[in-house]
Amino acid sequence: MSRSAECLPTSARCTETITGPVGFDLEARYYRVYQMVTSSDRNISRRSNEPRTRLSAAQRRGLIEDAAARLFAQRGYVATTVEDIVAEAGVSKPMLYRHFESKKELHMKLLERRRDELATAPLDSFLQTEGKPEERLPAMIDAWFAHVEQHPNTSRLLFQDATGDMDIQALQRELRRRQRAADVALLREFAPQLPEDELEPLGEIIRSSLTGLALWWLDNPDVPRATVAAATLRMTTGMLSTVR
């Protein structure tokens, strides 16, 4: 099973050789090296009269985010430096600061975006399918795990406990509160008979079990997505069956 949606090749191993005279376009040189190591056909020749291709601002931001996600997931927030990120992304430090004020802001933006997109994935599936709520549940669960599969690094960031910064820890608690509230709203849709005082504890059971299973799955990538989705469906339908 491939988990490479965020795992773009890196030019970090080539950055030590990137030098040039004063006024040389270092950013363009980085991009040329990036093309050299990521080209599928390894055709690295360039005619002198060909126009130079430049990355857009969105593409550069994407490279920074992908590199930061990989390093934060592998090393943790504290052990990852801005220098590590720009080397991994193949961009300059000033370029990173054009998009993010600090390493902390970059990390927090990654967390917020992944939580929002991950929460949206099953809801989109719910709205796009027909039938009773319980009939839509398998597609919703599969959509959630499909999103984790496509974004393993930022998903790991979101699910793991952060250390070393109180602001990031506070953000994680807030994001978990939002997800618990979303799960409570879904429980009201799927099982309106549930006692009101049990909804928040049940929402936390769903949130924590999903994230725990996702972390286990990221560490065991040979397990098919269908297997973890089926296990989650079995647990969820068992819970809902108690009020029918």
pLDDT of 39 over the 80 cut: no
Query: 216: which residues sit within 8 A by CB, 6+ positions away?
Result: none
| Size of the chain in residues | 244
Better-scored residue on pLDDT, 89 or 40: 89
| CA–CA gap between residue 214 and residue 199 (Å, rounded) | 22
Per DSSP, which regions of the chain are E strands?
Answer: none
| CA–CA gap between residue 206 and residue 122 (Å, rounded) | 14
* Residue from 177, 222, 227 nearest 200 by CA: 177
pLDDT of 199 over the 80 cut: yes
Q: Contact 220/205 with Cβ under 8 angstroms? A: no
Q: For the residues 220-236, what does the mean pLDDT come to?
A: 96
Q: For the residues 178-190, what does the mean pLDDT come to?
A: 91
- With cut-offs at 50, 70 and 90, classify the pLDDT of residue 190: confident
pLDDT of 17 over the 80 cut: no
Fold of 12-99: Arc Repressor Mutant, subunit A (1.10.10)
Maximum Cα–Cα distance for the chain, whole Å? 74
| Encoded amino acid at 172, one letter | Q
| Encoded amino acid at 239, one letter | M
Please report the pLDDT score of residue 162 as a whole number. 82
Please report the pLDDT score of residue 51 as a whole number. 54
Q: Contact 80/68 with Cβ under 8 angstroms? A: yes
* Residue from 60, 72, 33, 31 nearest 157 by CA: 72
- With cut-offs at 50, 70 and 90, classify the pLDDT of residue 147: very high
Q: What is the DSSP string of 137-180?
A: HHHHHHHHHHHHHH-HHHHHHHHSPP-S-HHHHHHHHHHHHHHH
Q: For the residues 145-158, what does the mean pLDDT come to?
A: 94
Q: For the residues 99-104, what does the mean pLDDT come to?
A: 96
pLDDT of 137 over the 50 cut: yes
**Angle at which helices 82-89 and 57-75 pack, to 10 degrees?**
120
- Torsion of the alpha carbons at 132, 138, 139 and 144, rounded to the nearest 10: 130
| CA–CA gap between residue 32 and residue 24 (Å, rounded) | 13
| CA–CA gap between residue 176 and residue 161 (Å, rounded) | 11
Per-domain residue ranges for the chain? 12-99, 103-241
pLDDT of 52 over the 70 cut: no
Please report the pLDDT score of residue 131 as a whole number. 84
Q: Tokens 């130079």 map to which residue?
A: 52
The answer to whether domain 12-99 and domain 103-241 are alike in fold is no
Please report the pLDDT score of residue 46 as a whole number. 44
Better-scored residue on pLDDT, 219 or 164: 219
Pick the CATH number of 103-241 from 1.10.10.10, 3.30.565.10, 1.20.120.450, 1.10.357.10: 1.10.357.10
